Structure 1
Amino acid sequence: MAALESLAGWPPAPIGTRRLVLREPEARDRSVMIELLSSAEVGQYVGGAQPRDELEKAMPREPRRRPGLFVVEQAGSMIGAVTLERRDPERLGHLYAEGGELELGYLFLPRSWGSGYATEACAAVLEWCAGAFPDQPVVLSTQTANAGSLRVAEKLGFTEVERFEDYGAEQWLGALRPVTRSRWMS
C-alpha cells in the first residue's frame, strides 16, 4: 500500500475512545509489532505470518514516522494497529479506474479478538478521516472467508462494491461513501 501524501498536521494528538487510545508508534511498541506480524493467526487472511527472525533484523529500534499508522493501545499496552493508506493502483479492486482510494486496514493480537476493539478503533480512525479528508470515500478489503472482518466492515457501515480473486482466495471490497462524522464517537 502506498503511504498517504504529506499529511498536514500529522501526527494527530492521541485519539481516545471509551476503551482505547490511538497514537503514533513508539519504540516500546517494537516487540508487540513483531509479535503481531509474525503471528500465524493474524497472518491467516493477509498473506501469512512473516518470519520472526527477519522482522527482528529489519524492524528499526526507533519507529519511523509513517503517516496513517495508528497504534491501538488498551490499558497502556499495544493490542493492534489501524492504517489509513492509499490503495495501490496495481492491486485489484477499486472504486476509480486510476485507483488510489483511501483504504482502511487493521491487525490485532488474537488475545484481543472478539471484544469489539477493531470496530471501536476503526470507527475512531474514520472519525479522524472525516476531518482530514472530507468527502473522500474509504475502502476496506478482506477475504470473504474472514467472517470477523466482514462483521467489522458491516458494523462500520461499509457496503459491498465487488468481489474478486486475489492471493488465491475470494476478496471482498467494501466502500464507505463519503466518510462522515461517526455515530461511534458520541
Structure 2
Amino acid sequence: MFESKRCTIKTFQKSDYVDVKKLYVDREVRKFLGGVRQEGSIEAALREMLHTNDGSFYWAVREKHTDNFIGLVSLDPHHDGTYLEVSYQFLPNWWGKGYATEVVQLVIDYGLNELNLPKIVAETQTANTSSCKLLERLGMELEKTISRFGAEQAIYSITSSN
C-alpha cells in the first residue's frame, strides 16, 4: 500500500471489481483507450489483474478521507516487451484536480527507486493532450510517436538517476 497526500493506493483486490468496472464502461475514460469494453472483456481483464504472474502491479486508488474510488494505476509490461509501462485510468469527476499527478508520480518513484527499474515507459494517444501534459509534468520525455490501435501514440519514458 502507498499513501499520497490525498490518496491511498492499494493492491487491486476482488472487492475492487465493481469500482474498477466503472472505468471500463465510462465513455469519457475510454475515449483514448479503445472505447467502452464489453462485459466478457471486462471480466477477463479484471481476472487477469487479480491473478497476474508476469511482474505486473495493479493498484486501486481511493480518496484518503472518504474512501471514494478514484481510479486504477498500474505498472505492467509494455507492448514492446522491454520495460514496464505506467498506466492510469481515473473517473472523470476526479480529473483536473491533481490526483493523477500525485498518484502517478508515486508509482513512478516506486518503480525507479524500490523496484530498481532502469526505465519506465508510458504510451498514450497524441490526441490525449491532457495525458501527454501529465507525463511531461512528471519528467517523462517523448521518445517517439508510432501508429498503434488505429491512432498515433506517443511513447514517453523516464530513466533512473541511480
Q: What TM-score, normalized to structure 1? A: 0.75
Q: Does the Cα contact within 8 Å between 1:142 and 1:150 map onto a contact in 2?
A: yes
Q: Which of 76, 85, 109 is 2:91 aligned to? A: 109
Identity of aligned residues (%): 28
Higher strand content, 1 or 2: 2
The answer for the alignment partner of 2:61 in structure 1 is 72
Q: For structure 2, which runs of at least 5 residues remain unmatched after alignment?
A: none
In structure 2, how many angstroms separate the alpha carbons of the residues matched to 1:28 and 1:176?
32
Give the counterpart letter for 1:111 in structure 2: N
Q: Distance in 2 between matches of 1:151 and 1:34?
A: 26
Quick check: 1:87 aligned with 2:78?
yes
Alpha-carbon distance in structure 2 between the residues aligned to 1:153 and 1:102? 15
Measure, in 2, the Cα distance between the counterparts of 1:27 and 1:77: 16
Contact residue 129 and residue 179 of structure 1 kept, 8 A: no
Q: Which deviations, in whole Å up to 9, do the C-alpha atoms of 1:96-150 show, x marking residues without a partner?
A: xxx4211110001111111111111111111211233325111111111101101
Structure 2 CA distance, aligned partners of 1:28 and 1:69? 13
Alpha-carbon RMSD across the aligned residues, in angstroms, is 2.2
Aligned pair count reads 156
In the aligned structure 1, how far is the partner of 2:51 from the partner of 2:69?
Answer: 17
Determine which structure has more spread, i.e. the larger CA radius of gyration: 1
Q: Distance in 2 between matches of 1:165 and 1:57?
A: 28
Q: 1:93 — aligned with what?
A: none
8 Å CA contact retained: 1:163, 1:171: yes
- The one-letter code of the counterpart of 1:40 is R
1:121 aligned residue: 103
- Unpaired runs of 5+ in structure 1? 1-13, 90-98, 181-186
